A and B are shown apart, each in its own frame.
Chain A
Amino acid sequence: MTRLLHIEDVYKSYGDKLVLDNIDLTVSQGEFCTVVGPSGCGKSTLLRLILGQEEPSEGRIEIKGQQGALPDRTRGIVYQRYTLFAHKTVLENVMLGRTLTEGQWWNPWYRNKSHVEEAMEFLRRVRLEDAAGKYPHELSGGMQQRAAIAQALIMRPPILLMDEPFGALDPDTRSDLQLYLLELWEKEKLTIFFVTHDMQEACFLGTRLLVLSQYYSDDRGMGADVKRGGKIVSDHALPKMATSTEVMNSEAFRALIEQVKKEGFDPDFRQHVKDFNLKHPDSFQTLLQSEYNAGQ
Chain B
Amino acid sequence: MKRPVFLGLFAQPPKALQIVLAALPFVLLLVAYLVASDIRLEANPNDKLLPSVGQMVDAIDRLAFQPDRRTGDYLFWQDTLSSLQRLLTGLGLSTLVALTVGVMMGAFNGLFVLGNPFLTFISMVPPLALLPILFISLGIDEVGKIALIFIGTFPIMTRDVALSVRGMPKELIIKAKTLGASDFAVVGTLLLPQIMPRLITALRLSLGAAWLFLIAAEAIASTDGLGYRIFLVRRYLAMDVIIPYVLWITLLGFLMDLLLRILLKWRYKWYQG
- With a cutoff of 8 Å between Cβ atoms, the chain B residues found around residue A142 in the complex are none
Interface of chain A residues 115 through 129 with chain B (CB within 8 A): none
Residue of A nearest to B189 (CB): A105
**Known contacts A85-B172, A100-B189; is A73 also within 8 Å of B179 by CB?**
yes
Residue pair B178, A71 in contact (C-beta under 8 Å): yes
Residue pair A86, B271 in contact (C-beta under 8 Å): yes
**Known contacts A100-B189, A105-B188; is A135 also within 8 Å of B178 by CB?**
no
**Known contacts A87-B194, A105-B189; is A82 also within 8 Å of B178 by CB?**
no
Partner pick for A155 among B174, B180, B188, B193, CB 8 A cutoff: B180
- With a cutoff of 8 Å between Cβ atoms, the chain B residues found around residue A101 in the complex are 179-180
Residue pair A86, B194 in contact (C-beta under 8 Å): yes
What are the interface flags for A54-83 relative to B under an 8 Å C-beta threshold, 1 for contact and 0 otherwise? Answer: 000000000000000011110111010111
- By size class, the interface of chain A is 20 to 34
A247 to chain B, nearest CB (A): 32
Within the assembled complex, what's the spacing in Å between the Cα atoms of A176 and B86? 60
A51 at the interface (CB under 8 A from B): yes
- With a cutoff of 8 Å between Cβ atoms, the chain A residues found around residue B190 in the complex are 85
- With a cutoff of 8 Å between Cβ atoms, the chain A residues found around residue B169 in the complex are 81-82
A218 to chain B, nearest CB (A): 34
Interface of chain B residues 147 through 194 with chain A (CB within 8 A): 169-172, 174-182, 185, 188-190, 193-194
Residue pair A136, B178 in contact (C-beta under 8 Å): no
Within the assembled complex, what's the spacing in Å between the Cα atoms of A137 and B188? 21
**Known contacts A87-B194, A100-B185; is A82 also within 8 Å of B171 by CB?**
yes
Residue pair A100, B181 in contact (C-beta under 8 Å): yes
Within the assembled complex, what's the spacing in Å between the Cα atoms of A4 and B269? 42
Within the assembled complex, what's the spacing in Å between the Cα atoms of A54 and B171? 12
A230 at the interface (CB under 8 A from B): no
**Known contacts A100-B189, A135-B269; is A53 also within 8 Å of B172 by CB?**
no
Residue pair B180, A97 in contact (C-beta under 8 Å): yes
- With a cutoff of 8 Å between Cβ atoms, the chain A residues found around residue B170 in the complex are 53
Residue pair A77, B175 in contact (C-beta under 8 Å): yes
Q: Which of A79, A82, A151 has the most chain B CB atoms inside 10 A of its CB? A: A82
**Known contacts A82-B169, A85-B172, A105-B188; is A73 also within 8 Å of B270 by CB?**
no
Residue of A nearest to B188 (CB): A106
A97 to chain B, nearest CB (A): 4
Within the assembled complex, what's the spacing in Å between the Cα atoms of A112 and B174? 25
Within the assembled complex, what's the spacing in Å between the Cα atoms of A71 and B175? 8
**Known contacts A51-B174, A81-B171, A87-B193; is A135 also within 8 Å of B180 by CB?**
no
B197 to chain A, nearest CB (A): 9
Residue pair B178, A152 in contact (C-beta under 8 Å): yes
- With a cutoff of 8 Å between Cβ atoms, the chain B residues found around residue A99 in the complex are 189
Residue pair A155, B179 in contact (C-beta under 8 Å): yes
Residue of A nearest to B174 (CB): A71
A157 at the interface (CB under 8 A from B): yes
**Known contacts A86-B270, A105-B185; is A100 also within 8 Å of B180 by CB?**
yes
**13 more A-B residue pairs beyond the given contacts A73-B179, A86-B271, A96-B189, with a C-beta to C-beta distance below 8 A:** A71-B174, A73-B180, A77-B171, A83-B175, A85-B194, A97-B180, A99-B189, A135-B269, A136-B270, A137-B270, A152-B179, A155-B178, A155-B180
Closest 8 CB pairs of A and B: A97-B179, A101-B180, A82-B171, A71-B177, A86-B270, A82-B169, A100-B181, A71-B174
Q: List 15 A-B contacts (CB under 8 A).
A: A71-B174, A73-B180, A77-B178, A79-B171, A81-B171, A85-B172, A86-B271, A97-B180, A100-B176, A100-B179, A100-B185, A100-B189, A136-B270, A137-B272, A152-B175
